Amino acid sequence: MTVSPRTKLTAVIGNPIGHSLSPLLHNQIYAKEKVGAVMLAFQNANIAELVSAIRALPIHLTAVTLPHKESIIPLLDEVDEKALAIGSVNTVINTGGKLKGYNTDVVGIAVALKDASLKGKSVLIFGAGGAARAVAFHVRECGANIFSFDRTFQKAQALCDKFGGTALEASALNERQFDVVVNASPVGLHPNTDATPVSKEIIRKGRIVFDLVYNPLETRLMREAKEKGAQAISGLTMLIGQALEQERLWLGRDIPDSGYTELLENELSSC
Ligand code: NAP
């Protein structure tokens, strides 16, 4: 791509940011879709400084990652209803200096679970942070029954207070079986690839396991799900789904998924 004075700047912001796949993915989208833009990564612990930069440069589309997804909310001019309900913003669109926050994780989750029929099903959500709240928002919309677990029980309880559901203690976790198990915690993330959130015994044949972790490409949870005859869904599907939604919000048109899974798989397997 040729950079010119007309090239627009987009960004991913967080702290740390060194392992983000967003620049690779979004810049590939710009190349394929012939968008005159470039995405750069900015690491800063100070969210107020980052928001000033979004306004000043300006940055047209900003992907927001940890630890800023909640603290950015009061600094924006407007926040989409879904993002407010989830309490987490992962996207900021800058329209003529007005900053509006969105949550596209929830769209990525819907893409990942698009073939699952969730009505009346029991869904275990492991972890109760920002991503877990987006999962809870989606599965509640689909009529599922939520079971929440977090090593900090109060966080699981808070998620259930907000979205409905049952908070579980660790002892109850392995006594139950679920139609869908979702890992919304960093358990199993590289380099702790031997770790897994739930014991293999609670995974049942024909059921669904969705791991938001995508590094490694196949987590221990996913491997064990396949061994038990369950369907294993990777966090990569969600990552791409949420990024395409970010670009749709900015560019105002649907962006087709043109081989981005392969691009990211190649990148992750070369790390
Ligand atoms: P977060 O806000 O930090 O939440 C993580 C939650 O997991 C916290 O509630 C944490 O509890 C809990 N947790 C951590 N270790 C645990 C353990 N051993 N047992 C039980 N609970 C544990 O992070 P997040 O943004 O929700 O992200 C969660 C995961 O999803 C991360 O791995 C992230 O990479 C992934 N993610 C993937 C995508 C995607 O597109 N695929 C998008 C967003 C996030 P404490 O507060 O007690 O530590």
Residue 228 falls in the annotated catalytic set: no
| CA separation for the pair 218, 247 (Å, rounded) | 27
Query: What pLDDT sits at residue 2?
Result: 87
- Residue 205 buriedness (CB in 10 A; 0-12 / 13-18 / 19+): exposed
Alpha helices by DSSP H, the chain: 22-33, 47-56, 81-86, 105-112, 130-141, 153-163, 170-173, 220-227, 235-251, 260-269
CB 29 near ligand 1, within 6 Å: no
Query: Residue 57: its pLDDT value, please?
Result: 97
CA distance 209 to 46: 36
pLDDT in tens, 27-51: 999 999 999 999 999 999 999 999 9
- Where does the pLDDT of residue 1 fall: very low under 50, low under 70, confident under 90, or very high at 90 and above? confident
Per-residue pLDDT at 175: 84
Average pLDDT of the chain to the nearest whole number: 96
Pairing of strands 98-102, 145-149: unpaired
Supply the pLDDT for residue 41.
98
The region that residue 60 occupies, defined by phi over 0 for left and psi between -120 and 50 for alpha, beta otherwise, is alpha
- Over residues 235-269, the pLDDT tens digits come to 999 999 999 999 999 999 999 999 999 999 999 99
Backbone angles phi, psi at 32, to 5 degrees: -70, -35
Is 264 touching ligand 1 by the criterion CB < 6 Å?
Answer: no
**Distance (Å, whole) CA 261 – CA 39:** 19
- Nearest atom (ligand 1) to Cα of 242: 40
Report the separation in Å between the CA atom of 86 and the middle of ligand 1, taken as the mean of its atom positions.
15
What pLDDT score does 270 carry? 85
What is the pTM for the complete model shown?
Answer: 0.96
Distance CA 24, CA 22 (A): 5
CA distance 107 to 101: 14
Look at ligand 1, atom 1, and give the residue with the nearest C-alpha. 129
Q: What pLDDT shows up at residue 88?
A: 97
pLDDT tens-digit readout, 50-67: 999 999 999 999 999 999
Per residue in 83-117, pLDDT tens?
A: 999 999 999 999 999 999 999 999 999 999 999 99
CB of 131 shorter than 6 A to ligand 1: yes
For the cut 80, the answer to whether the pLDDT of residue 271 exceeds it is: no
Residue tagged active-site, from 69, 119, 200, 228: 69
Q: Is the CB of 155 under 6 A from ligand 1?
A: yes
Identify which of 68, 149, 150, 218 to mutate to test ligand 1's pocket (most ligand atoms within 8 A of the CB).
150
234 beta partners: 211
**Residue 176: what pLDDT?**
85
Q: Could you give the 3-state DSSP secondary structure of residue 60?
A: coil
State pLDDT tens for residues 146-190: 999 999 999 999 999 999 999 999 989 888 889 999 999 999 999
